[in-house]
Structure 1
Amino acid sequence: MKSELGVVGNLLVVISVCQHRALHSVRNIFIVSLSCSDIVVSIVSGSVTSITAFTKIWLFGPQLCYLVPLIQGTSLCFSTLTLTAIAIDRFILIIYPTRRPIQRRHAFRMVAFNCTVALAISFPMFLKQKLVKWENFCGKFCTEDWGVDVHMRSVYGTLVLILQFAIPLVIITFCYSMISLQLSKVGVFFCCWVPSVAFNFLRDYGWLPEFVKKQEYFFGVITHCISMSSTVWNPCLYALMNEQFRVAFASLIHTLKGDEHAVHKRHCSRLLSNTILETSLRKSGTRLPTQTDIV
């Protein structure tokens, strides 16, 4: 159910931005890229990961054993880097309003950079994945195999902790604190990722409590599911709480229903344009005209 909500919510964001030219902003470039990444995570987690969690064996062949962890790792890392880019964009726009804001070409370059960095961070998982068969167990298992280089697993886990979680968390917290926005976005990021990051870090260094070691597979699945829940919260925090997106969502839903399509679409387009104009005027400090002013 969680993966379906993630796909639907993020798909609404992508379609809304594509349909409404008024939503073609720099910030929404980041939001669309975030939604695309979350869609990939939701699809993979809702199919391969959930089936593997219940069967406890790998049913998808050696090729996907290499590719699925790489796709998941890249998508999740890309999501955290994109959330960081959104925070930086808002910080520059609000703290330094007289400076030239991030341009679209810069935004696309940042998206490409984030994708490259995310792929580079996750690539060791591709190299170390292996389909193995253990004695006294039925079926095969897709797992990380570091061989005699167990120390490198700890080093890699620490680097992932720093690059994927610690640095983005510091930047996001700093940016949203400086612009005095609601810290719900920081809180959701923290709550979604701390369990998974802490579990992987303690496991890599052999510091897991004894009761967790006895049920390591179970706790691994639970912490993974918690981190995957970010794919549901992201469209709510970064799109649904935005008035412009709510208007676009309403237009899209009525379009899908097919009732009074033309009239409603024109009404929503006008409403969306007015909403963006009002938001821009408020940010610039311009007073909106009242009925008394018009008379």
Structure 2
Amino acid sequence: MRGNRQMELPEDFYIPIPLDTNNITALSPFLVPQDHLGNAAIFYAMSVYMFFIFTIGTTINGLTIACTVQYKKLRSHLNYILVNLAVSNLIVACIGSFTCFISFSQRYFILGPLACKIEGFAATLGGMVSLWSLAVIAFERWLVVCKPLGNFAFKPQHALACCAATWFFAMAASAPPLFGWSRYIPEGFQCSCGPDWYTSNNKYNNESYVYFLFGFCFAFPFSVICFCYSQLLFVLKSAAKAQAESASTQKAEREVTRMVVVMVIGFLFCWAPYTIFALWVVNNRGQAFDLRLATIPSCMSKSSTVYNPMIYILLNKQFRVCLKKMLGMSAGDDEDSSATSSVTEVSKVGPA
């Protein structure tokens, strides 16, 4: 298939040419199953996968929010940001993943053009909030542990302001396609929707929008994450070296190092394929590519609704203890005390 062939197409979707038909509307992803893109088994397998992401993502992020509401001791500045992350993940899971589950089960976007725009906007909005929340978490850890501002205290009101900023930035990134800068249309197997990055259309200025998303919503947050965590690791390693006989400091250094590595890998796993594929297509107009491959990075980005809370929340001992209590599982005081001391140790290794 070729994604660069120009012809008059309906405003709500794009189908690559050549195909053995003179009536492109007859293949509308809003009207008929897209069996020309793959056999039914692929669609049904994707439907099962998206149902799994919807179920697990909704459950784990819903429990995160409920747990924070129930336990006052979780209402710290860091956990406010984690809840903000959970809310954004919940939006993507409930709207993006569930819509994809329905569409893949029918083998076309049965809900229609308006639902496509809603799903594309909601998934992009939630995804952008998630990306910026990850950057804010890294920034908060840098301020608290590395203390670049001396004795400045990162308080709940600062966390709330940062959360508000993530929604502002995300809205600035996801709203333009609703108003003519790019557009939200079916992508890949035509059962999910996202920004139009694979067509060249001067009317929508798709290329400039892709570059905007790459710079503002991927490169910049990723740079913040890399800078903050690299500084964090440097401080922790210095502290561990200075306190070589302190077992607790050595343990804190190893745990944070492991979490940082997992966080960066998780970020790249979820978002790098989508970004790289979009940039490759935009910068290689005229080159052959299979549009169906767009389904893979799209689903990987939606999978972040499961990976993010597993990395950022379930690896948080204090959160895990409270979650066990809420679910009626045993959680002894020793574990709670250990979690608190571990958090304290990590927070105090930075310079005074």
Q: TM-score if structure 1 supplies the norm length?
A: 0.79
Structure 2 residue corresponding to 1:165, chosen from 218, 224, 230: 218
Unaligned stretches of 5+ in structure 1?
133-140, 256-263, 287-295
Matches of residues 132-151 of structure 1 in structure 2 within 5 Å? 144=196, 148-149=201-202
User: How big is the shift at 1:62?
Assistant: 3.9
Identify if the C-alpha distance between structure 1 residues 32 and 57 changes in structure 2 by more than 3 Å, giving closer, same or farther: same
Structure 2 residue corresponding to 1:179, chosen from 232, 250, 271: 232
Equivalent position of 1:59 in the other structure: 110
Identify if the C-alpha distance between structure 1 residues 112 and 142 changes in structure 2 by more than 3 Å, giving closer, same or farther: closer
Q: How large is the Cα RMSD of the aligned pairs?
A: 2.9
CA contact (8 A) 2:89 2:126 kept: yes
Matched, 1:110 2:188: no
Identify if the C-alpha distance between structure 1 residues 113 and 281 changes in structure 2 by more than 3 Å, giving closer, same or farther: closer
Equivalent position of 2:276 in the other structure: 198
| Cα separation, 2, equivalents of 1:238 and 1:161 | 24
Identify if the C-alpha distance between structure 1 residues 194 and 147 changes in structure 2 by more than 3 Å, giving closer, same or farther: closer
Identify if the C-alpha distance between structure 1 residues 198 and 207 changes in structure 2 by more than 3 Å, giving closer, same or farther: farther
CA displacement, residues 170-215 of structure 1 (integer Å, 9 cap, x when unaligned): 11011111111332101110121111111122233444852xx2x3
User: How big is the shift at 1:45?
Assistant: 2.7
Amino acid at match of 1:25: S
CA contact (8 A) 2:89 2:130 kept: yes
CA contact (8 A) 1:66 1:130 kept: yes
| Cα separation, 1, equivalents of 2:102 and 2:283 | 28
CA displacement, residues 240-269 of structure 1 (integer Å, 9 cap, x when unaligned): 1111111112112217xxxxxxxx6xx76x
User: How big is the shift at 1:280?
Assistant: 5.4
CA displacement, residues 208-231 of structure 1 (integer Å, 9 cap, x when unaligned): 852xx2x31x21111111111111
Equivalent position of 1:127 in the other structure: 179
| Cα separation, 1, equivalents of 2:294 and 2:200 | 21
Equivalent position of 1:29 in the other structure: 80
Identify if the C-alpha distance between structure 1 residues 56 and 156 changes in structure 2 by more than 3 Å, giving closer, same or farther: farther
**Structure 1 or 2: more helix by fraction:** 1
CA displacement, residues 96-131 of structure 1 (integer Å, 9 cap, x when unaligned): 184222221121111112101111111122234477
The alignment partner of 2:108 has SS state of coil
Structure 2 residue corresponding to 1:231, chosen from 273, 293, 305: 305
| Cα separation, 2, equivalents of 1:194 and 1:70 | 20
| Cα separation, 1, equivalents of 2:217 and 2:74 | 29
Identify if the C-alpha distance between structure 1 residues 275 and 86 changes in structure 2 by more than 3 Å, giving closer, same or farther: same
Matched, 1:282 2:341: no
Equivalent position of 2:242 in the other structure: none
| Cα separation, 2, equivalents of 1:236 and 1:33 | 15
CA contact (8 A) 1:69 1:125 kept: no
Query: Segments of 4+ in structure 1 off by > 6 A?
Result: none
CA contact (8 A) 2:177 2:195 kept: no
Amino acid at match of 1:85: V
Identify if the C-alpha distance between structure 1 residues 142 and 108 changes in structure 2 by more than 3 Å, giving closer, same or farther: closer
Structure 2 residue corresponding to 1:254, chosen from 328, 331, 336: 328
CA contact (8 A) 2:68 2:75 kept: yes
CA contact (8 A) 2:128 2:170 kept: yes
Structure 2 residue corresponding to 1:43, chosen from 90, 94, 101: 94
Equivalent position of 2:140 in the other structure: 89
The alignment partner of 2:151 has SS state of coil
CA contact (8 A) 1:69 1:126 kept: no
Amino acid at match of 2:311: L
Unaligned stretches of 5+ in structure 2?
1-51, 187-192, 234-256
CA displacement, residues 51-73 of structure 1 (integer Å, 9 cap, x when unaligned): 33454533223432332211111
Among all aligned residue pairs of Structure 1 and Structure 2, give the percentage whose two residues are the same amino acid: 23
User: How big is the shift at 1:277?
Assistant: 4.3
CA contact (8 A) 2:321 2:336 kept: no
| Cα separation, 2, equivalents of 1:100 and 1:188 | 30
Identify if the C-alpha distance between structure 1 residues 280 and 82 changes in structure 2 by more than 3 Å, giving closer, same or farther: closer
Matched, 1:100 2:155: no
User: How big is the shift at 1:41?
Assistant: 0.5
Identify if the C-alpha distance between structure 1 residues 281 and 184 changes in structure 2 by more than 3 Å, giving closer, same or farther: closer
Equivalent position of 2:315 in the other structure: 241
Matched, 1:10 2:72: no
The alignment partner of 1:179 has SS state of helix
